[in-house]
Amino acid sequence: MAPAEGLHAARSRGRNTRQLVHEVLRSRIVGLELAPGSAVSENDLAAELGVSRTPVRESLILLADEGLVDIYPQMGTFISRIRERDVASAQFIREALECAALREAVEKVTARDVAELRALLTAQEEADRHSDMQGFFQLDEDFHARLMAVSGHASAWPVVSQAKAQLDRARRLSLPMTQQMSLLIGQHREVVDLLEEGDLDRADGALRSHLRLVFSDVEKIRAKHPELFSDEDAPLRPRRDSARRTASRGDG
C-alpha cells in the first residue's frame, strides 16, 4: 500500500515525470521485479505511482521500442518474454561493438584509464566478498561502459546497454552467481592486463570469450526457467489473468 509516493517529490531535478517513470519501470523489468509474461496496465501503474496515465503510457511506448514490453492494442501490455532471437541478436551486437571498441582502445589507452578500470575491479571484488549481486551488476555495467569510453566511443554505449538489458534480465536468475562472480572478475582483469600490454588480439579474444560465457549462462538459465522465455511457436496469445478482481472483491 501507498508504495512509490515519493516519485513526485524527487522531481526536483531536471527530469520530468515521464523520464522518472521510465527509469523506475526499466529498473523493475531488468531487475525482474516485473516478471516476463506478466501483464501491466496503464491504469494500474498510474494509480500505483500516483501519476496520470499519460507519462506512464509514454514510458511504456519507449520500453516497447527497447523490446522490454509488448503492447497489444485493445488487449494489454505485457512484460516481454525473453526471445531466443533477441538474445542472439543482443549478444551479436554487444560482441561486435565492445570488441571493435577494444581494438581501438589499445591505441588510445592511458595510464589513467587503466587505473580507473582497476579501481572498478577492486570494487567488484568488494561486492563479491559481500555477496552483493545488485552492486556487482552495477559495477559490471560501469566496467564495460568505462572500457568503451577508453576508445572514445562512449556515445555508442547506450546501444550496447540496450542490448545488454536483454541478457541481464536472464542473468539475474543465475543463482550460483556467487561462484561465477570471481570468475567474471578474473576475466575482467585479464582484459585490462592485455589492454595495458597492448596485446590487441589476445585482449580481443579475452573479452570475446568473457562475453560468450555470459551468453552460455543465458542458455543454461533457459533450461532452468523456461517460463521466462518465449516458445517462438505461440507467442501471439498472451493470456489475460482472469481471476483477479474476484479475489479482491471478496463476496457478499
Among 5, 8, 10, 16, binds a second copy (CB under 8 A): 16
Cell of residue 125, nine digits: 571484488
Among 4, 32, 62, 71, binds DNA (CB under 7 A): 71
Local structure of 70: helix, strand or coil: strand
Cell of residue 136, nine digits: 556487482
Instruction: Assign 3-state DSSP to the chain and report helix, strand, coil percentages, each to 5.
Output: 70, 5, 25
Distance of CA 93 to the CA centre of its chain: 14
Residues 6+ apart with CB under 8 A from 98: 144, 147, 148, 160, 207, 211
Size of the site for DNA (CB under 7 A): 29
Please report where in the chains the cell 515521464 appears, as a residue: 18
Cα maximum dimension of the chain: 75
Task: For the CB of residue 12, give the shortest distance to DNA in the complex, in Å.
Answer: 11
User: Which one of the spans 34-42, 60-68, 191-199, 216-224 is the region binding a second copy (CB under 8 A)?
Assistant: 60-68
User: Which one of the spans 70-78, 80-88, 155-163, 217-225 is the region binding DNA (CB under 7 A)?
Assistant: 70-78
- Rank residues 50 and 205 by Cβ distance to DNA and give the closer one: 50
Cα–Cα dist 228/169, whole Å = 10
Q: Counting contacts by CB under 7 A, is residue 55 touching DNA? A: yes
Q: Which does 156 bind (CB under 5 to 8 A by kind): DNA, a second copy, none?
A: a second copy
Q: Would the CA dihedral through 132, 213, 152, 194 be positive or negative?
A: positive
User: Which one of the spans 41-49, 84-92, 118-126, 209-217 is the region binding DNA (CB under 7 A)?
Assistant: 41-49
Q: How many CB atoms lie within 10 A of CB 97?
A: 18
Among 101, 121, 170, 214, binds a second copy (CB under 8 A): 101
Show the site string, 222-241: x = touches DNA by CB under 7 A, - = not.
Answer: ---------------x-xx-
Q: Counting contacts by CB under 7 A, is residue 17 touching DNA? A: yes
Local structure of 229: helix, strand or coil: strand
Q: Counting contacts by CB under 8 A, is residue 73 touching a second copy? A: yes
First and final C-alpha spacing in the chain: 24
The 3-class secondary structure across 51-85, one letter per residue, is: CCHHHHHHHHHHHHHCCCEEEECCCEEEECCECHH
Q: Counting contacts by CB under 7 A, is residue 134 touching DNA? A: no
By the criterion CB under 8 A, which residues form the site for a second copy? 16, 18, 57-58, 61-62, 65, 73, 85-86, 88-89, 92-93, 95-97, 99-101, 153, 155-156, 159, 163
Residues near DNA, by CB under 7 A: 16-18, 40-44, 51-55, 57-58, 61, 71-77, 237, 239-240, 242-243, 245
